A = this chain, B = another copy of it.
Amino acid sequence: MKLSVILAHPNKQSFNHAIAETAVDSLKQNGHDVVFHDLYDEGFNPVLPWDEIPERAALSPELEAYCGEIAAADGIIIVHPNWWGQPPAILKGWVDRVFRPGVAYQFLEGDKGEGVPIGLLKARAAIVFNTSNTDREREVKAFGDPLETLWKNCIFDLCGVKTFYRRMFSVVVTSSAKQRSKWLEEVQGAVSRYFPANAAKSDVPH
């Protein structure tokens, strides 16, 4: 299977990097092809310009590559910290620019953009790993854990990826090395559950 792993965190020493590396290693151990993007390291420009919005817009070769990869992915793994109940801007802009009409979704003919689009992504499953410094109870009670509906419903379900798993690790800032090590074992377990070794594409759990 072809897997895309997308990471958005500005510090290479961060636990987010450790999560992404663990995911990449697990996927490779399971025999999958992995494309890994550290968006900060790549200097991804997250600002969607007006002339890029139309479906038939001319795209830069770099953006074409990002789009081609996500269209071809059998699975997608996203890793980012919870900043204001949302991804860091660099990752929000990756969605704005890469999840394009004709790549990630499509409106029916005659639809001016007000209808319900058809999802185009062929990925069988998406996993989102988050880190947070807010405890679980406050996240749900005070904020409603918006990252769940953002990634599950607003983005992946709309684009046709119906199998979705998300895990938010918290509280990271006060966590022990032992706790973080256990969390990385969880990452490895989840990745291998959804993208097992020698998997036929139909083996992805639903």
A contact set with B: CB distance below 8 Å: 10-11, 40, 46-50, 53, 83-90, 92-93, 95-96, 99, 112-114, 116, 133-135, 138, 142-144, 146, 149-150, 153-155, 157, 171, 173-174
B11 touches A50 (CB 8 A): yes
A84-B155, A96-B83 in contact; A113/B173 too (CB < 8 A)?
Answer: yes
Copies of this chain in its oligomeric complex: 2
Residues of B within 8 A of A87 (CB): 92
**How distant is the Cα of A47 from the Cα of B94 in the complex, in angstroms?**
12
**How distant is the Cα of A174 from the Cα of B138 in the complex, in angstroms?**
40
A112-B173, A114-B133 in contact; A85/B47 too (CB < 8 A)?
Answer: no
**Chain B min CB distance to A76 (Å):** 15
A89-B48, A89-B89 in contact; A171/B114 too (CB < 8 A)?
Answer: yes
B112 touches A84 (CB 8 A): no
A10-B49, A46-B93, A112-B174 in contact; A85/B135 too (CB < 8 A)?
Answer: no
Identify A89's interface contact among B11, B47, B134, B171, CB under 8 A: B47
**Chain B min CB distance to A168 (Å):** 14
**Chain B min CB distance to A25 (Å):** 24
B155 touches A150 (CB 8 A): no
**Chain B min CB distance to A95 (Å):** 6
A146 touches B154 (CB 8 A): yes
B114 touches A173 (CB 8 A): yes
A-B contact pairs, 23 of them (CB 8 A): A10-B48, A10-B53, A46-B46, A46-B47, A47-B89, A84-B92, A84-B95, A84-B99, A84-B150, A85-B150, A85-B154, A86-B86, A86-B150, A88-B96, A89-B90, A89-B92, A113-B133, A113-B173, A116-B138, A142-B153, A143-B154, A144-B153, A146-B154
